[in-house]
Structure 1
């Protein structure tokens, strides 16, 4: 049996579906207040038989602070896909994010010790990458540099990765994936599910980042585990795109004019206001140095390693955007 944590998230649900399509039995973790109806509804975007697959999932509530609870959840589990994480770029979320992402991962790995678990796939992020190769791109050798400033999210993912590598050194077969911004359907109000709301706005930033379709991430994750490829990390991105390119595409599809780019100087004014008024106006706190740098820089990232390892061809970003944007609009009309 396979365990997928964070199975109600935009990626976790699609990994669950991919596993079920391959005939595997899946136990999926959720929070007590998770909306399973929304998860089931979103599966219709990926299969003609959403209810059939959904009814095969064994859902469990889990407390990542309770090792005994985790050991119970891991009973008869051979493979784990650890997708559960908190994603936020607001400073007020730092403490909770560190706890959820680092402590949660550590506890899960402790629970895996002396259990039936043989394989472990950890979902990290491109946010942990630092440094460029000879082609001016980030790749799997772009190791996290502790001397640089990072977002709390990047810090949490880096230390989570350290926990995974510790478990690997102790004998667990692990693989780490580092996806770019995931484009998917459902979970529209959380994490990367918000991209269509954000891209439909009339403002954008001068930087850029890397994107990947959720279906590609799910397929590659399961392929790596099935092919017993362990002890490595793999960057999963389809293309590098500027925020303006992404926003232009979405707004054109919506029949809206091109967005206006917010100049870095304007954001720096927000940073100054944050220094003086952040204590009074919490939304201003997001205008800090790290966040401003992240939306005004554009580091290209390489996907050559995974393409060569699996011979994988990624879905083009515009094809992905078109597919998931249509799903988003269809859901909005119904609601």
Structure 2
């Protein structure tokens, strides 16, 4: 049996589906308040038999602060894909993110110690990686630098990884995957599910990011576990692209004009306003030093390791956008009718 946490998230749901397609038995962890009907609806984008696959899922409510709840979810489980996390770049969410991401991961790993779990895949982020190699690329050896400023999300993922490495040192077979921005379908109002809504806006930033299709992240995670590749981390990204390039492509597909790049000087003004009025106007707190740097800079992130290890072939970013954007537009249209 396999447990997938965060199974209602944009990635967790696809990992669940791909495992089911392999004929495996899956327990899907969720919050009591999670909308599993939305997950069921999104499966129509990934399979011709959404109901049949969805009906094979065993759902379980999990409270990561409750040891009994975790032990109950892990009963009979031999493999875990830990996708559950809070994703936010708003400073106000820092405490909640640290609690969910760090303490939740720690508690889950402690619960694994007294269980039958033999394999553990942790979904992290490229946000934890600092520095470049001799090719001026960020790779798996680009260790987190505590002397640099990081977003609260990156900090939470770094310390979550520390918990995974601790468990690995104590004998648990673990693997960490570090995706870039995930392009997927469904969950349109949360996390990376908001990608198309954000890209449809008439403005963008001068920097860039690394993108990857949700199907590739799920496939890579499962292949690493199936091939028993443990005690290592793997960057999972398809391509590095400028925000303006991606936004222009999406807006063109939507029949909209190209986006305007927000000048860096305007973001600097925003930082000053944040310092003066951030306590009063919550949105201004987003314009801090770390967020400003993240949207105005671009790193060249390498996927060489997973390509060489698994012979992995990634879906090109534009092809991924075509597929998921069509799903996004179809879903939005059907909900209006």
What TM-score comes out, normalization by structure 2 length? 0.99
SS of aligned partner of 1:240: strand
Aligned counterpart, 1:199: 199
Task: Tell me the residue number matched to 1:93.
Answer: 93
Alignment of 1:258 with 2:250, yes or no, is: no
Q: CA RMSD in A?
A: 0.4
Q: Which residue number in structure 1 is paired with residue 7 of structure 2?
A: 7
Q: Aligned partners of 1:313 and 1:224: how far apart in 2?
A: 14
Report the Cα offset of residue 114 of structure 1. Answer: 2.1
The Cα of 1:32 is off from its aligned counterpart by 1.1
- Give me the whole-angstrom Cα distance separating, in 1, the residues matched to 2:264 and 2:161: 32
Q: Tell me the equivalent position of 2:43.
A: 43
Deviation per CA, 1:129-164, whole angstroms, max 9, x where unpaired?
A: 000111111000000000000000000000000000
Q: For each residue in 1:198-246, what CA deviation from the matched residue of structure 2 results, as whole angstroms up to 9, or x when unmatched?
A: 0001000000010000001111111110111101000000000000001
Structure 1 residue aligned with 2:231 = 231
Unaligned runs of 5+ in 2: none
> Can you list the C-alpha shifts for 1:258-282, whole angstroms capped at 9, x where unaligned?
1000011101100000001011111
Partner of 1:280: 280
The 3-state SS of whatever aligns with 2:65 is: coil
Aligned counterpart, 1:290: 290
Is 1:249 matched with 2:249?
A: yes
Aligned residue number for residue 34 of structure 1: 34
4+ aligned runs moved over 4 Å, structure 1? none
Q: Deviations over 1:30-70 (max 9, x none)?
A: 11111111100101111100000000000011100011210
Between the aligned partners of 2:37 and 2:76, the Cα distance in structure 1 is: 27
Matched with 2:117 is 117
**Post-superposition offset of 1:306:** 0.1
Structural mapping, 1:72-221, within 5 Å: 72-221=72-221
Unpaired runs of 5+ residues, structure 1, are: none
Q: Secondary structure at the match of 1:59?
A: strand
SS at match of 1:305: helix
What's the secondary structure of 2:7's corresponding residue?
coil
TM-score by length of 1: 1.00
Q: Distance in 2 between matches of 1:331 and 1:34?
A: 19
Range 287-296 or range 27-36, more displaced: 27-36
Cα distance in structure 2, aligned partners of 1:137 and 1:259: 28
1:20 counterpart residue number:
20
CA distance in 2, matches of 1:260, 1:309: 40
- C-alpha distance in structure 2 between counterparts of 1:221 and 1:52, whole Å: 23
Structure 2 counterpart of 1:271: 271
In structure 1, distance between residues paired with 2:274 and 2:312: 44
Q: Deviations over 1:268-304 (max 9, x none)?
A: 1000000010111111000000000000000110000
* Partner SS state of residue 209, structure 2: strand
- Whether 2:237 is the aligned partner of 1:240: answer no
Q: How many residues align?
A: 335
Tell me the distance in 1 between the aligned counterparts of 2:195 and 2:187: 11
Q: Distance in 1 between matches of 2:68 and 2:265?
A: 51
Q: What SS does the aligned partner of 2:63 have?
A: coil
